[in-house]
Every structure is written in structure tokens, then in C-alpha cells.
């Protein structure tokens, strides 16, 4: 019965979207209907809604807003255009997908997915505008590289928590993760992007309306790359000092603070305001107009993602995760495949990759303790399952859809297919490595 209710909720969301109802409103309706059908009491449902809003906004609001501001300043000042021009000139238009892929992969290793996404979105629009190439042809490699690093590679929170849960070796996990991530991101990025080349997307909007700037008026390449990558640098320094320096070291404490995603983005925003605004002769009211435009442009996206978080919380609080867990433990199969299936089921049901991974970790941990499988490969199997089949209950689904102004069908055919490819290819890589690693 639980599965039927979830399928009904998904079908209702699709129906309301087809009827052109705002995703923000439709997701709230679906969350309430689903919660009531799953047997939640009204007061418990209201508490879940409030908790879903708080937990989602708490982790995303400042990152999304600051990322949008940084992206908007980079775009309006011409810095994003300078970066795209440098990439195009270095790699050539024929190889621009690989340039975007490499950029996303390097940014994605130390940076949280949401922060990396909002930083790279204006770059994608700028490249699409300058080259005339289809938006998804460029956007898919970017999204695939960020998603792959998010689920496979430390220091992302998901892999790090799993490493600790399974008592795995961080270095081995990173090495095995890179081995699996490279072929996964190539197939789910450039190859899939070429298949979607004919999909037409409206490129107007938050990052799509600004006119191209003459090359003589663009900021320098050094300043453009430095400020765009400043959050990445600060977070990387934080990770390195956390490993190399003792806990009470003052440099480590400073790096820990400045390496927080929110603080790193805030520092980058101030740097962008100074170098691309004040130093370029722009008046403060004009710069604040850029800031206001960025925040207003992100408002509906933020609300939609929040509503998706509410839906996820209702599913969790209704006991759906426990139901899937108890159902899955009855299956008899190889440990790595077992872990992937459980995580994938939880991911499709609950929407959150992190929650799915953590829930699955509790179920499969005894298999690792028993010594029947490599703990590092178990981390990667769970990580691969955590990105399977992303759909309407995933905030990342709506972020991708709203930023690129896609229809629901286009989002399923691009984002959901991409995430599923990464998951299945990741599982294949884990099983292949298992033949050589015990």
C-alpha cells in the first residue's frame, strides 16, 4: 500500500505540473496529500512541514543566494564571459564539453554540489551564448561532473560519513572513487550531452539576458578565474589544514572558518563586488542592483527547492524509509549489490541522496563488520545507489529544472537519465573493482 501511495503522489505531481501549477504550490499539495494518505496525524504532518522547511533552507538558503549573487556579478561584469572565452580558446569549440567537464570536476571535488552548481550556471549560459551551442549540450557535462564527485569522492559529506560508518580508509576510497568516477562522468556527461543536442531550451532569464561584452572591456583572465575559484581554494585549504595541522592550531581554526561553504562564498562575493564593481568604476547603487536582481531571480527556485524538502521530510517522518529498509533485508544477494539496491530504493522513495546513504549504511554495516566485503567499495556502492533515479522529491531535480527553465519531460530525459547513468555505471565499476580487491 505504501508503494501505491508514493506512486500516486508522483503521478499527482506530474498531473499538476502538466496543468501549469507552480512547482512550489504543487509540491506542497502533494506533500500534504501524501502525508495524510500515509496515515500521518494533522499535527504530525504540520510538524514535518515545518521541519522540512527549516532543514532545507538551513542548508541551502545562504549558499544559493550568495552563489547566485557571485554568479550574477561574474556574468554582468563579463568575468564569466572571459572564463568561457579562455576555455573556448584553449580547448577549441569542438572540445568545449571536455573543458566544462574538467572545470566542473575540479570545482566539484572540494565544493558542495549546490555551491558548485550556482557558480557554474552563468558559465554554462555564457558559453552557450558565445558559441551558439545547445544549452543542454554544455549543461549536462557540468552537472554530471558535480554529481559524480558528490556521490563518490571525499571530502563531500556523504562519502566522508560513509567512510567513518564503515571504518574505511579515506585515501583508498578517494583513489577507488576517482577510478570509478572518470568513466562514469564521461558517459553521463559529454556522451549524454550529445544525445540531447537537439533539445531546444529557452536561454533567457537569470543568466541568459545580458549582452556579450566586447573583449577589450572584459576583466582579466587572472582576476576572473581567481575570484570564480576563490570559494574552491578556501575550501581546499580548509580540507588540507584539517588533515595536516593539529586541532588547536590557529591557522587550522582560521582555515576551518573561511573554508565553510557559506563564508567562502561570502568572501568571494565581497571580492567580486570590489574588483568587478568598485574598482571598475561602478557606483554602489548599481552594484546593489545586481545583487537585488540575483536574489529576486533565485526566489522562486529557492521556494521550489524548499517545497521539495517538505515532501522529502513527510516521506521520512511517515516511516516510509523504515518500511523500505525492513522490506529490503529479506533479499538474499551479494553484499555490494544488496547495498546498492537498498540505497537506490531509499533514494527514489525519500529523494535525499544523503538520507538514503545514511539509512542504507545502518542496514549494511554488519556486512562490512563481518569482513565479507571491502569497506571502501561498500562506501562507493552506497554512494552510487544514492544518486539513482532522481525525480520530483529531490531538491536537485528542481534546482536543475528551474535554473535551466526546462519542462518536466526535459528534466526527466536529461537530469534523471544522467543521475541514473552515473548510478548504474558506478555500480558496474564497484563490481569490477571487487574482482581485484577483497
Q: Is the pLDDT of residue 260 over 90?
A: no
Confidence grade of residue 362 (pLDDT, cut at 50, 70, 90): low
Higher pLDDT pick, 15 / 195: 195
Percent of the chain scoring above 70 in pLDDT: 91
Ranking 122-126, 237-241, 246-250, 362-366 by mean pLDDT, the lowest is 362-366
Dist CA 156 CA 235 (whole Å): 11
What pLDDT score was predicted for residue 323? Answer: 66
Is the pLDDT assigned to residue 107 strictly greater than 90?
no
108 neighbors 229 (Cβ within 8 angstroms) = no
pLDDT bucket at 216, cuts 50 / 70 / 90:
low
Say how far apart CA 137 and CA 192 lie, in whole Å: 8
- Burial pattern 309-348, b for ≥16 Cβ within 10 A else e, equals bbbbbbbbbbebbebbbeebeeeeeebbbbbbbbbbbbbb
Give the length of the chain: 438
The per-residue pLDDT of the chain, averaged, comes to 84
Give yes or no for residue 79 having a pLDDT over 60.
Answer: yes
Query: Which pLDDT does position 203 carry in this prediction?
Result: 66
Confidence (pLDDT) at 130: 81
Rounded CA gap, 51 and 346, in Å? 20
Measured at the CA of 209, the angle between CA 80 and CA 416, to 5 degrees, comes to 75
Contacts of 17 (CB under 8 A, 6+ apart): 23, 26, 408
Residues 363-386, mean pLDDT to the nearest whole number: 85
With 0.85 as the threshold, say if the pTM is over it.
no
C-alpha to C-alpha distance for 72 and 3, rounded to whole angstroms = 42
Determine phi and psi for 65, rounding to 5 degrees.
-65, -45
pLDDT of residue 191: 95
Three-class SS of the chain: CHHHHHHHHHHHHHHHHHCCCCHHHHHHHHHHHHHHHCCCCHHHHHHHHHHHHHHHHHHHHHHHHHHHHHHHHHHHHCHHHHHHHHHHHHHCHHHHHHHHHHHHHHHHCCCCHHHHHHHHHHHHHHHHHHHCCCHHHHHHHHHHHHHHHHHHCCCCHHHHHHHHHHCCCHHHHHHHHHHHHHHHHHHHHHHHHHHCCCCCCCCCCCCCCCCCCCHHHCCCHHHHHHHHCHHHHHHHHHHHHHHHCCCCCHHHHHHHHHCCHHHHHHHHHHHHHHHHHHCCCCCHHHHHHHHHHHHHHHHHHHHHHHHHHHHHHHHHHCCHHHHHHHHHCCCCCCHHHHHHHHHHHHHHHHCCHHHHHHHHHHHHHHHHHCCCCCHHHHHHHHHHHCCCCCCCCCHHHHHHHHHCCCCHHHHHHHHHHHHHHHHHHHHHHHHHHHCCCC
Check residue 141 and give its pLDDT: 95
Is residue 110 very low, low, confident or very high in pLDDT (cuts 50, 70, 90)?
Answer: low
Contacts of 275 (CB under 8 A, 6+ apart): 219, 223, 227
Span 60-64, mean pLDDT? 79
Name the more confident of 115 and 126.
Answer: 126
Residue 417 is part of which domain span? 2-434
First to last CA, the chain: 40
pLDDT of residue 13: 77
- CA geometry: angle 399, 402, 403, nearest 5 deg: 80
Q: How many domains does the chain have?
A: 1
Query: Which of the pair, 179 or 107, is modelled with greater confidence?
Result: 179
Band of pLDDT at residue 45, cut at 50, 70 and 90: very high
The pLDDT value recorded for residue 33 is: 92
> What confidence category does residue 356 fall into, taking pLDDT thresholds of 50, 70 and 90?
confident
pLDDT of residue 155: 65
Residue 330 scores a pLDDT above 60: yes
Min mean pLDDT across 28-42, 55-69, 82-96 is at: 55-69
Is residue 419 within 8 Å of residue 146, measured between CB atoms? no
In contact, 311 and 318? CB cutoff 8 Å? no
Res. 59 pLDDT band, cuts 50 70 90: low
Distance CA 178, CA 424 (A): 16
Which pLDDT band holds residue 189 (cuts at 50, 70, 90)? Answer: very high
When pLDDT is cut at 50, 70 and 90, the band that residue 145 belongs to is very high
**Residue 361 clears pLDDT 70, i.e. is over it:** yes
Identify the burial level of 7 via C-beta atoms within 10 angstroms of its C-beta, where 0-12 means exposed, 13-18 middle and 19 or more buried.
exposed
**Is it the case that residue 190 has pLDDT exceeding 80?**
yes
Q: What is the mean pLDDT of residues 346-360?
A: 77
Q: Which of 140-154, 163-177, 203-217, 296-310 has the lowest mean pLDDT?
A: 203-217
Provide the pLDDT for residue 269. Answer: 93
Lowest mean pLDDT among 99-103, 265-269, 320-324, 416-420: 320-324
Amino acid at each position: 500500500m505504501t508503494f501505491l501511495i508514493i506512486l500516486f503522489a508522483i503521478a499527482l505531481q506530474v498531473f499538476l505540473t502538466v496543468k501549469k501549477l507552480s512547482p512550489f504550490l504543487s509540491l506542497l499539495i502533494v506533500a500534504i496529500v501524501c502525508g495524510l494518505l500515509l496515515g500521518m496525524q494533522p499535527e504530525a504532518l504540520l510538524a514535518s512541514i515545518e521541519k522540512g522547511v527549516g532543514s532545507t533552507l538551513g542548508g541551502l538558503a545562504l549558499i544559493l543566494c550568495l552563489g547566485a549573487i557571485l554568479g550574477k556579478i561574474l556574468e554582468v561584469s563579463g568575468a564569466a564571459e572571459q572564463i568561457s572565452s579562455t576555455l573556448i580558446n584553449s580547448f577549441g569549440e569542438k572540445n568545449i564539453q571536455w573543458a566544462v567537464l574538467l572545470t566542473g570536476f575540479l570545482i566539484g571535488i572540494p565544493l558542495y554540489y549546490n555551491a558548485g552548481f550556482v557558480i557554474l550556471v552563468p558559465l554554462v549560459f555564457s558559453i552557450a551564448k558565445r558559441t551558439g551551442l545547445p544549452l543542454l549540450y554544455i549543461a549536462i557535462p557540468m552537472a554530471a561532473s558535480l554529481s559524480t564527485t558528490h556521490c563518490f569522492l571525499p571530502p563531500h559529506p556523504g562519502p566522508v560519513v560513509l567512510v567513518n560508518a564503515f571504518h574505511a580508509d579515506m585515501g583508498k576510497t578517494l583513489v577507488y572513487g576517482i577510478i570509478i568516477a572518470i568513466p562514469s562522468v564521461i558517459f553521463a556527461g559529454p556522451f549524454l550531452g550529445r544525445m540531447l543536442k537537439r533539445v531546444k531550451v529557452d536561454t533567457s532569464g537569470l543568466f541568459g539576458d545580458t549582452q556579450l561584452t566586447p573583449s577589450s572591456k572584459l576583466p582579466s583572465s587572472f582576476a576572473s578565474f581567481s575570484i570564480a575559484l576563490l570559494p574552491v581554494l578556501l575550501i581546499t585549504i580548509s580540507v588540507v589544514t584539517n588533515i595536516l595541522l593539529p586541532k588547536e592550531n590557529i591557522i587550522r581554526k582560521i582555515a576551518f572558518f573561511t573554508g565553510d561553504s557559506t563564508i567562502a562564498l561570502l568572501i568571494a562575493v565581497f571580492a567580486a563586488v570590489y574588483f568587478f564593481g568598485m574598482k571598475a568604476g561602478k557606483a554602489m547603487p548599481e552594484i546593489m542592483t545586481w545583487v537585488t536582481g540575483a536574489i529576486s531571480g533565485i526566489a522562486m527556485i529557492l521556494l521550489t527547492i524548499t517545497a521539495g524538502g517538505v515532501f522529502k521530510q513527510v516521506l521520512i517522518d511517515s516511516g516510509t524509509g523504515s518500511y523500505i529498509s525492513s522490506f529490503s533485508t529479506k533479499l538474499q544477494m551479494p553484499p555490494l549489490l544488496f547495498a546498492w539496491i537498498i540505497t537506490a530504493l531509499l533514494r527514489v522513495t525519500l529523494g535525499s541522496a544523503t538520507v538514503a546513504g545514511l539509512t542504507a549504511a545502518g542496514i549494511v554495516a554488519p556486512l562490512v563488520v563481518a569482513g565479507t566485503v571491502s569497506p571502501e567499495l561498500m562506501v562507493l556502492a552506497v554512494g552510487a545507489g544514492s544518486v539513482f533515479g532522481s525525480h520530483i522529491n529531490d531538491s536537485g531535480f528542481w534546482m536543475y529544472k528551474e535554473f535551466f527553465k526546462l519542462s518536466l519531460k526535459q528534466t526527466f530525459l536529461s537530469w534523471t537519465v544522467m543521475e541514473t547513468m552515473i548510478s548504474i555505471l558506478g555500480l558496474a565499476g564497484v563490481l569490477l573493482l571487487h574482482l581485484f580487491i577483497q
